[in-house]
Amino acid sequence: MEHWGPFLQTVLWVGLIGGIAYRFHTPIQHLLDALTERIKSGSDLTAGPFSVKGMQSLSLPEQAARANEEIEEANAVAHQPQVAEATEESQAPQASRPAPRSPTPMPTPQFRAQYFQAEDLALRAIQAEFGQPINRQVSAGRNQQFDGAFVQNNRMNIVEVKYVAKPPPKAMLQQVLHRVQSFVLSHNFKSVNLVLAAVVDRTSDVEATLKRFTAVADEASIPTIIRVYALSELQAKFGIVDAG
């Protein structure tokens, strides 16, 4: 009889589990379907009392489209004539008819490669500085695509990187700021920072670019952290070229 005891216990446990699965088949299936959908839609980024629902990685076609758009923007800025900041804001449109501009050349393969390298190295530098892993190329909904996002001290940090061959026009920076602010305000988020970074070709342009970025950040309705890097310094920092 003693050999039947374990066998009966096993039979009872199997019967109990089978009965529970049969009785609650429908809610269990719904739960599994919900978990599957959650995995497909991406995980949430949580910071303190709120989370950004559905924050997920961009698909490869979405990443390519966004990269092409930003490369075209950066290429246009690179071929614009250098304008002093004070002159840029004080020019009167009616004073004279603007001189016709020659078509902007297409971005070269080298320019495209520098764009991708600049963005990657800037994100690496930010990650190293803040000590938090960055979720790269993320989306939180329609027209809400960002270069990266991370959480630190119960605050969401949205990261935007701009590769600019020289100090960019103020209007371009205001556009970036407006897009992030609209996202934050539309969701009524209270614990969000914007980390706005620029990568310039020449070390001599760092100071002027920092000044222009800071002037725009001072107008922001959300806390904005500015970082400006020279591409050559990032390359040396991460071992792509020898530090000279």
> Which pLDDT does position 181 carry in this prediction?
86
> Which pLDDT does position 147 carry in this prediction?
92
- Cα–Cα distances (Å) from 59 to 15, 52, 56, 120, in that order, read 45, 18, 9, 17
pLDDT of residue 5 exceeding 70:
no
Q: Give the mean model confidence (pLDDT) for residues 12-31.
A: 65
C-alpha to C-alpha distance for 59 and 40, rounded to whole angstroms: 12
> Which pLDDT does position 50 carry in this prediction?
45
pLDDT of residue 45 exceeding 90:
no
Q: Give the mean model confidence (pLDDT) for residues 80-93.
A: 51
Answer with the residue of higher pLDDT: 236 or 43: 236
**What percent of the chain lies above the pLDDT cut of 70?**
66
C-alpha to C-alpha distance for 70 and 76, rounded to whole angstroms: 10
Handedness of CA 138, 140, 145, 148 (dihedral sign): negative
Q: pLDDT by residue (tens digit) across 98-156? A: 555 667 788 899 999 999 999 999 999 999 999 999 999 988 777 688 999 999 988 88
With cut-offs at 50, 70 and 90, classify the pLDDT of residue 13. Answer: low
Q: pLDDT by residue (tens digit) across 58-77? A: 888 888 998 899 889 888 88
> Which pLDDT does position 39 carry in this prediction?
42
**Tokens found for residue 178:** 């407006």
Nearest to 198 by CA among 58, 84, 82, 77: 77
Nearest to 160 by CA among 206, 184, 194: 194
> Which pLDDT does position 40 carry in this prediction?
45
C-alpha to C-alpha distance for 36 and 57, rounded to whole angstroms: 17
The pTM of the full predicted model, rounded to 2 decimals, is: 0.70
> Which pLDDT does position 123 carry in this prediction?
96
**Tokens found for residue 141:** 């909904």
**What percent of the chain lies above the pLDDT cut of 90?**
31
Point out the least confidently predicted range of 33-47, 65-79, 135-149, 218-232: 33-47
